[in-house]
């Protein structure tokens, strides 16, 4: 392998780097549409030049500290078999302490960080598309009143075509974003050359002096600076798709230089035209055709940024389902060759409705920016805390190594979180509300499942007792195969006991099938399943999947057959419990959670759809359960 032609490895590296540009950096790459403009709008009256340089300095150092140092240098080292993201950190802590079934304070904190990403998923498509379409104001002011409507049409088209998958459009993501970063870098460079004095903003004292000289406006200024680093979490979340190395290549080689040149170009323009910052980004190019072309490119980049975040939300939801924190939802696979390309209709509809309502409610990217930031900074802070927990408990880092880094990152991000709290009444309540709603769903579902497993599925009927049942002369053995889904890979499924009690029969071949989710993103093929014979035609099979995979029981049963179990798949019958939740019991849940869990359970996706089984081969047995 080491002697393979260099052209192959070079081409593969270029492809991964280009792909990272299109998927990972879409969100942060479109921040120049509005970020520095909002920073300058937050400046107090006074020395305008000093304020512009100070705001630009804060943006520059925010990118350095958050992206270059925190994520690329430290956080992205916390990979779970190459995968990243907030659930990867949760899985790493679980696999270290063995407490995946518990919902402690730390788990609750991580779940809230994940839930905030859904709020980000609603706002990001709205603000990205709005910010791009608003460029029409600088081209033809009479279009101003149509901007929300045009944005809603674009969003409707974007969400409508989600069901087609990202395979086709994904091929152009990278090249379009490459053009985007090159173009915005060049238009910024032109203004830097005209006014190189703007490079003084590299001095961090410029930003610190701005905050010290205007402490009353510091929160508003920092709240706007955060807009420049929205999307940084995607570097970590998408690490498994491209790898840390190629994400770093894309950042330092293309995205970072393009962003810096554009931000400094905007700063240079603002120094020369301090009163013309309403359309600061689009003002960098001349009016007419050049500006119209930049508007078109901006809309394309905004669509890509939105698409990447929508796909990321699908992936996040599937991980939550697999880890047991979310009800089963219908998952459609849009690419037979790539299991990661999925479409969740319910999530898509929710994001679409949410984004369109946000556009109509706020009406402009400037107003929407007041709601943006709380979710982003909250998730970043949670990621930092989870990372240092992993570093201490799993990697055994010494305290002297952890504390200075933890103090620095927590200090910076706590300042960002605090700076965004003033936005709460002006719209910041929106992502918090979405996050709390999703947290309630995740906590309730996990708690309900844990209680049901504890009370119902963790029975003590041993394999020896099951063997006695199978060989009893009171039980009639009939032709065919019965596959009984077992929630506990060591117990006897209640659905089998109910079946035997009611019908006094068993199939010639009985398979107790358990499908488990491991605290790893994917499971190797040689670890996918195990099969053991209990006796008298009864077998136990355990299928294992990672939290970024979806179980396929049909394929799993083919492997079980190939392992030597005598069965005919076409004649197999699959038996499931169908839980019928009754409230009023003594389980350790709030009464409202019991009712909520019952509602979620009734509306969860059918098991046959989730496990991808033929509906004509399924029998569901009702099981009343009182919580």
Report how far residue 470's alpha carbon sits from residue 476's, in angstroms, rounded to the nearest whole number.
Answer: 9
> Exposed, middle or buried: residue 473 (CB in 10 Å: 0-12, 13-18, 19+)?
exposed
What is the model's pLDDT at position 188? 96
Per DSSP bridges, beta strands 505-517 and 476-485 are parallel
What is the model's pLDDT at position 8? 38
- The stretch 521-546 carries a mean pLDDT of 90
> Exposed, middle or buried: residue 98 (CB in 10 Å: 0-12, 13-18, 19+)?
exposed
pLDDT tens digit sequence for 205-261: 999 999 999 888 888 899 999 999 988 888 888 887 788 899 999 999 999 999 999
- Domain layout of the chain by residue ranges: 18-449, 458-626
pLDDT band at 170 (very low <50, low <70, confident <90, very high): low
The neighbour count for residue 274, using CB atoms within 10 Å, is 14
Report how far residue 359's alpha carbon sits from residue 476's, in angstroms, rounded to the nearest whole number.
Answer: 65
What is the model's pLDDT at position 332? 83
How many angstroms from the chain centroid is the CA of residue 493? 34
pLDDT tens digit sequence for 341-379: 788 999 999 999 999 999 999 998 888 887 788 888 889
Is the pLDDT reported for residue 583 higher than 90?
Answer: no
* Domain spanning 18-449, CATH architecture: Up-down Bundle (1.20)
pLDDT tens digit sequence for 118-146: 988 898 899 889 999 988 888 788 888 89
Q: Which residues contact 337 (CB under 8 A, 6 or more apart)?
A: none
What is the model's pLDDT at position 612? 81
What is the model's pLDDT at position 458? 60
Phi, psi (deg, nearest 5) at residue 203 = -65, 115
Per the listing, tokens 């830097």 go with 192
Find, among 75, 517, 86, 612, the residue nearest to 312 by Cα: 86
Helix (H) or strand (E) holding 419: helix 399-420
Q: Which residues share a beta bridge with 538?
A: 510, 535
Q: How far is CA 322 from CA 10, 314, 328, 439, in A?
A: 36, 12, 9, 16
pLDDT averaged over the chain? Answer: 87
> Two tokens at 526?
């040689």
Report how far residue 579's alpha carbon sits from residue 602's, in angstroms, rounded to the nearest whole number.
Answer: 9
Long-range pairs for 146-149 at CB < 8 Å and ≥24 separation?
Answer: 147/363, 147/364, 148/359, 148/360, 148/363, 148/364
How many angstroms from the chain centroid is the CA of residue 153? 25
Query: pTM value?
Result: 0.85
> Is 623:578 a contact under the CB 8 Å cutoff?
yes
In the DSSP assignment, the letter for residue 507 is E
What is the model's pLDDT at position 166? 61
Q: Which residues share a beta bridge with 483?
A: 511, 574
Long-range pairs for 529-535 at CB < 8 Å and ≥24 separation?
Answer: 529/556, 529/559, 529/560, 529/563, 531/560, 531/563, 531/564, 531/565, 534/463, 534/466, 534/467, 534/470, 535/467, 535/470, 535/471
pLDDT band at 80 (very low <50, low <70, confident <90, very high): confident
Q: Which residues contact 388 (CB under 8 A, 6 or more apart)?
A: 402, 405, 406
Is the pLDDT reported for residue 115 higher than 70?
Answer: yes
What is the model's pLDDT at position 572? 93
What is the model's pLDDT at position 275? 75
């Amino acid at each position: 392998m080491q002697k393979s032609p260099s052209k192959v490895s070079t081409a593969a590296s270029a492809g991964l780097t280009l792909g990272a540009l299109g998927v990972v950096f879409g969100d942060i790459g479109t921040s120049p549409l509005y970020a520095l403009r909002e920073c300058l709008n937050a400046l107090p009256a006074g020395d305008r030049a000093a304020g512009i340089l100070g705001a630009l300095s804060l943006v520059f150092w925010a990118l350095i500290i958050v992206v270059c140092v925190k994520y690329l240098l430290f956080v992205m080292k916390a990979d779970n078999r190459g995968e990243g993201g907030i659930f990867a950190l949760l899985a790493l802590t679980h696999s270290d302490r063995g407490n995946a079934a518990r919902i402690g304070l730390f788990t609750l904190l991580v779940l809230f960080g994940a839930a905030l990403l859904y709020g980000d998923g609603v706002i990001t498509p709205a603000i990205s598309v709005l910010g791009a379409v608003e460029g029409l104001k600088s081209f033809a002011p009479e279009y101003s009143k149509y901007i929300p409507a045009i944005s809603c049409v674009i969003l409707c088209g974007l969400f409508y075509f989600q069901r087609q998958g990202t395979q086709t459009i994904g091929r152009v993501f990278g090249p379009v974003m490459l053009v985007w970063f090159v173009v915005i870098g060049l238009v910024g460079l032109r203004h830097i050359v005209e006014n190189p004095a703007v490079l003084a903003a590299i001095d961090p004292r410029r930003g610190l002096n701005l905050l010290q000289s205007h402490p009353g406006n510091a929160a508003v200024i920092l709240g706007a600076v955060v807009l420049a680093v929205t999307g940084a979490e995607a570097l970590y979340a998408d690490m498994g798709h491209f790898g840390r190395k190629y994400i770093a290549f894309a950042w330092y080689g293309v995205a970072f230089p393009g962003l810096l040149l554009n931000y400094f170009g905007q700063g240079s323009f603002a120094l020369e035209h301090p009163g013309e910052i309403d359309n600061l980004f689009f003002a960098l190019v001349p009016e007419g055709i050049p500006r119209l072309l930049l508007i078109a490119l901006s809309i394309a980049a905004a669509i890509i940024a939105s698409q990447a975040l929508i796909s990321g939300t699908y992936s996040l939801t599937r991980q939550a389902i697999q880890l047991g924190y979310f009800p089963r939802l219908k998952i459609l696979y849009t690419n037979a060759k790539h299991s990661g390309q999925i479409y969740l209709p319910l999530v898509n509809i929710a994001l679409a409705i949410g984004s369109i309502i946000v556009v109509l409610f706020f009406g402009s990217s400037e107003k929407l920016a007041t709601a943006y930031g709380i979710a982003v900074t909250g998730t970043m802070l949670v990621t930092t805390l989870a990372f240092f927990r992993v570093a201490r408990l799993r990697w055994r880092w010494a305290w002297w190594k952890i504390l200075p880094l933890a103090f620095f990152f927590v200090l910076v991000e706590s300042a960002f979180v605090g700076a965004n709290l003033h936005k709460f009444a002006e719209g910041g309540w929106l992502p918090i509300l979405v996050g709390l709603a999703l947290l309630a769903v995740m906590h309730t579902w996990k708690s309900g499942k844990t209680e049901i497993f504890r009370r119902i599925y963790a029975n003590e009927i041993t394999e020896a007792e099951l063997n006695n049942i199978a060989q009893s002369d009171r039980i009639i053995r009939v032709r065919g195969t019965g596959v009984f889904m077992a929630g506990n890979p060591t117990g006897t499924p209640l659905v089998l006991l109910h079946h035997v009690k009611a019908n006094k029969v068993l199939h010639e071949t009985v398979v107790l099938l358990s499908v488990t989710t491991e605290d790893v993103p994917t499971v190797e093929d040689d670890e996918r399943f195990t099969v053991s014979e209990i006796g008298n035609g009864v077998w136990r099979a355990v299928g294992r999947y990672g939290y970024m995979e979806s179980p396929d029981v049909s394929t799993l049963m083919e492997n079980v057959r190939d392992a030597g179990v005598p069965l005919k798949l076409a004649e197999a019958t699959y038996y499931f419990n169908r839980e019928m939740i009754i409230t009023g019991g003594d389980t350790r849940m709030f009464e409202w959670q019991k009712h909520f869990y019952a509602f979620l359970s009734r509306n969860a996706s059918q098991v046959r759809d989730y496990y991808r089984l033929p509906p004509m081969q399924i029998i569901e047995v009702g099981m009343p359960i009182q919580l």
